[in-house]
A and B are shown apart, each in its own frame.
Chain A
């Protein structure tokens, strides 16, 4: 937790209302999202009890398993869920656009939009992951055949759940995380994990949040008291009232989910949100293609090489996401300023036409002096970036302490056009307020991994191919 977010929590507590911790929205919110609230049966490993699902607040569809321990009913539920979810997920695989690759020498195609599924909390996403695991290997023939949509749904759910692990992806979003990224409440993170309570802090304040703690739950786990006093008698009696009871239980969460989306939409989107959604569309396009071509279900566990490369992709995505959020949002950047990884100052001297001709050919290398009163934890030689000019690098030449801070001398390169004279406005002018940071959006190349057949013995050796 950064001190800035902690301070916002303290302020929220004192004010009795949630406080903003972001000035822009860091997440793509779809115009036509699908909301899904799964509910699980206690005790069982991933036995669905019910789900409320739909693409409009006014038209929820409720799916209920009246005898959750009956496996036929379970698969009937999964098939019904597939009927709702699959047409939505597949509906974006229509129109494509061409994207230049390899510096414009080639193009590839991707779909112009992708689906977005919302669940209330990380537990909901986890439930879908397990539901995907339990259905994607089901056979459509043999002893216990299931409808073909069941394994297909399993593959889609696995795809969504694995996309949700990628920092910055918005294909499968959860409301607790999305709200918590933009608002700080005056309670602990453990209490924020309860969607109803977090939502109440943001919309109505502290007292309402305490009230909301008493329920109803946002799933997927049910309240033990509800299980014992309400659910158990209804299931034992095979009561026809069960769907209505579940509907009453889920409706408050359903409405809060849609209102949460409106709340998020009311924030302006960060500048780099669209590029992250572009990569989500890439991921979606690739998966649709995989289903059309090969269609093999995702493996139970990644092999050593696949796991290592996935881990690296996740790490890169996390680092990129953190940098992008800071560049998009001064309030996030403020966290880096507090720790000295970024500082703001005023340009006091500028030599925009400076040319370095010591090399083979002369290059444009303007220098500027920035005076700051903030802590500066960089040394000569460090490379800095300014969010206002992300393609420009600023190399630290010297840091000189002054009476109330320090003067930082910087040499600029890039982002000034191709000529030996800088394009107007591309070099910060004297008097301009400027922010500089050690964070960089520079491309991180992926590491080289061996071919799976070359997996070293330290990692279990080459995988044994099963027949």
Chain B
């Protein structure tokens, strides 16, 4: 049994996906998340076991609408999708798509045939005459582990270049969409682009991805082209930093386990052995965040990065208040922060005591 399997215990392994990789790169300094994800630990289950459940469900209505939209696009050999993509190609902002190639569905299947599906994907891509490739399976090495990725539907062949197509169900109204939704879609698509590039080489995969969304208030689809070069370079940088997770795992004390069948004190002790870097943004991205927030209580980071910076980077609230009141002696590197905090406290008291 490998060390990561020991960490997880007998529970089935949770697979990485584009979303978790995107989240990893959102807070790359968090060793805890990197280790737990690398070991495939069921984080929601773990959070619930130790008494800090988060709510990360998805609404049935949202799921149903997303599925209906995707099914509509892919019906009749992706007829609607093709016409939308062709339309997007005809706008002057992007190069034209060349369609006419065939459509191949590689099928969805269970975990044990992943390798076979990946092999079929590679074959289809190598053949090079595919117009649209549905249910492809890509691999990407994340922190020394092979991760399987399942783009909704990928690659439209555009001349010699492959392009990733992402189907999302958030609406684009008058050419504008929710910026958080768009940026997370762009990061996800960038993960697929990176995986494709590792497989086929940089020059065969376009850095422009196609996002297909409902337009305005209908289910009528519209395709827009996103440039994900920025996301790609961020992703590459963050993934290279993650590469050392295996050595981190190997360096963990032998007693550390995240097997949810273990008693809670053992789990808490194990969590304490792996450093987290909590930020309030974690609350919307990581299932373990409620516990980490509890753990970070009293730190200035728990109040958010801007607050911590404005407090001169001082680590804890007590320390910041002590420096402001002059009851704590600043260390040499804190002198500047201490002067700022003391001045702020004096001005605040003066204004409030009028």
Contact = CB atoms under 8 A, between A and B. Distances in A.
B343 interface: yes
Contact of B174 (A1, A7, A23, A133): A133
Contacts of B132: none
Contacts, number: 138
Interface residues of B, number: 52
Given A6-B310, A133-B174, A43 B66 contact: yes
Interface stretch (B8-16, B235-243, B345-353): B345-353
Interface size class of A (residues with CB under 8 A): 35 or more
A227 B170 CA distance: 18
B321 A45 contact: no
A227 B61 contact: yes
Contacts of A334: 344, 347-348, 350-351
A246 to B, nearest CB: 15
B320 to A, nearest CB: 5
Contacts of B311: 3, 6-7, 10
Interface string B52-67: 0001011111111110
Interface string A4-34: 1111111101100000100100000000000
B250 to A, nearest CB: 35
Contact of B59 (A13, A190, A228, A300): A228
Given A188-B302, A228-B60, A330 B174 contact: no
A2 interface: yes
Contact of B303 (A2, A3, A13, A301): A13
B59 A7 contact: no
B280 A337 contact: no
A228 B304 contact: no
B57 A224 contact: yes
B173 A133 contact: yes
Interface in A314-366: 330-331, 333-334, 337-338
B343 A189 contact: no
Interface string B291-323: 000000010101110111111100001101100
B351 A331 contact: yes
B232 interface: no
A162 interface: no
A6 B171 CA distance: 37
Contacts of A186: 303, 317
B169 interface: yes
Given A10-B300, A46-B171, A223 B55 contact: yes
Contacts of B321: 10-11, 14
A45 B171 contact: yes
Given A4-B344, A23-B354, A338-B340, A45 B59 contact: no
25 contacts: A1-B306, A1-B310, A3-B310, A3-B340, A10-B303, A10-B320, A10-B324, A11-B321, A13-B303, A23-B354, A43-B61, A43-B169, A45-B171, A133-B173, A189-B304, A190-B280, A191-B280, A224-B57, A227-B59, A227-B62, A330-B354, A333-B351, A334-B344, A334-B351, A337-B347
Interface of B: 55, 57-66, 169-171, 173-175, 214, 216-217, 280-281, 283-284, 298, 300, 302-304, 306-312, 317-318, 320-321, 324, 340-341, 343-345, 347-348, 350-352, 354
